[in-house]
Amino acid sequence: MAPVLELVGLTKAFGGLTAVNDMSLTVEPGEIVSIIGPNGSGKTTLFNLVSGIYEPDSGDILLEGESIAGLRPDQIQAKGISRTFQMLRLFSNMTVLENVLVGMHSRTKTRLLGAMFRLPWVTREEKEAVARAQEILAFFPGRFSGPRQSQPAASLSYANRRRLEIARALAGEPRILLLDEPVAGMNPAESLEVMQQIRELRDRGQTILMIEHDMKVVLGASDRLIAMDHGVKIAEGDPQDVANDPRVVEAYLGQRDAAAS
C-alpha cells in the first residue's frame, strides 16, 4: 500500500534562512506520526508546506502517490489534507455547527442558484450535512451537545475551541489529518483526554501527522516519532528511542547540558 503522505527532499528557504532543508518522510495508512523539535526548528513551516500556504523551493509532496506541491490550500484540502492551527483559527462569530459545516465545504456541492431558490436537493444536502456535522461533533461526547451547537464558537472554553478545530478538520473527511500542537494550553487532564481521542481516531483508520511539545502526549499517542532541528530531520523511529536520542536531547537543551546529564 502506498504511503498516505510522502515528502521527498522538501526544502524551503526564507531569504538566507533555510527553514526546512531536504526533509523527507513518509506516513503510512492508519499511523500516527509525531514531529518534535525546539522552537524554530521548522515544524510549522513543514505543515505550511504540506497544507499549501508555502510552495516548496524544491522537493515534492505526494498524497497517496499523487504530487500536490504547488496546489492552493483549498485544492489540497479538497484532495484530502485537513489541518488545525497552533494559534486557534476558528470562525468565532459563527456557531459551533456552522464551523463544522464550513469544514465540509469541499464535500458539499450547493452553488449559488441552487441556494438562492432553495431547490429540493439543496435542502436535502443541507440536512445531510447537518446530520453529518452533528455526528462529527458527537465524537467529543458531552462537549458540543444540544444548544451548544447553536452558540458562537467564541463562547466556547479554550479546550473546547481546540476540540472544535479538530472537528472542523475532520469534517473535510481527510485522508491525513495534520494537528499542529493539539493540546497546547490544555491542562494535564484535558491533554490526556485529547490524546486518547487522537488514538481513537487512529483506531477508526484516520492517518495523523502531528506536531506536539507535550512529551506525555507524544509518547502516549505516536506510532513513530520524528525529531527536527534547524530544518533537518535529526532522528526518526520508535518514540521512546527518539526521545532518548542524544542528538535530540542536545537539540533541546544544548551541548553542555547534555554532557552534564
Rounded Cα distance, 36 and 229, in Å: 9
Contact positions with another protein (CB under 8 A) in 175-194 = 184-185
Under the criterion CB under 8 A, does residue 152 sit at the interface with another protein? yes
Q: Write out the E strands in 190-243.
A: 207-211, 224-229, 232-237
Rounded Cα distance, 112 and 102, in Å: 15
Under the criterion CB under 8 A, does residue 219 sit at the interface with another protein? no
Under the criterion CB under 8 A, does residue 239 sit at the interface with another protein? no
* Count, residues near another protein per rule CB under 8 A: 54
Of residues 152 and 220, the one with the C-beta less far from another protein? 152
Contact at 8 Å (CB) between 33 and 60?
A: no
C-alpha cell at 25: 518522510
CB of residue 105 vs another protein: minimum separation in angstroms?
4
> Interacting stretch for another protein, rule CB under 8 A, among 6-14, 29-37, 70-78, 136-144?
70-78
Of 58, 67, 145, 155, the residue at the interface with another protein (CB under 8 A) is 155
Under the criterion CB under 8 A, does residue 211 sit at the interface with another protein? no
Roughly how many angstroms between the first and final C-alpha of the chain, as a whole number? Answer: 42
Of residues 29 and 38, the one with the C-beta less far from another protein? 38
Under the criterion CB under 8 A, does residue 95 sit at the interface with another protein? yes
Of 26, 29, 60, 105, the residue at the interface with another protein (CB under 8 A) is 105
Residue type, 58: S
CB-based contacts of 128, cutoff 8 Å, min separation 6: none
CB-based contacts of 173, cutoff 8 Å, min separation 6: 80, 107
- Which helix (H) or strand (E) is 67 found in, with range? strand 66-67
Binding residues (CB under 8 A) for another protein: these are: 51, 53, 72-74, 77-78, 82-83, 85, 87-95, 98, 101-103, 105-112, 114-118, 122, 126, 129, 147, 150-152, 154-155, 158, 161, 168, 172, 184-185, 213, 252-253
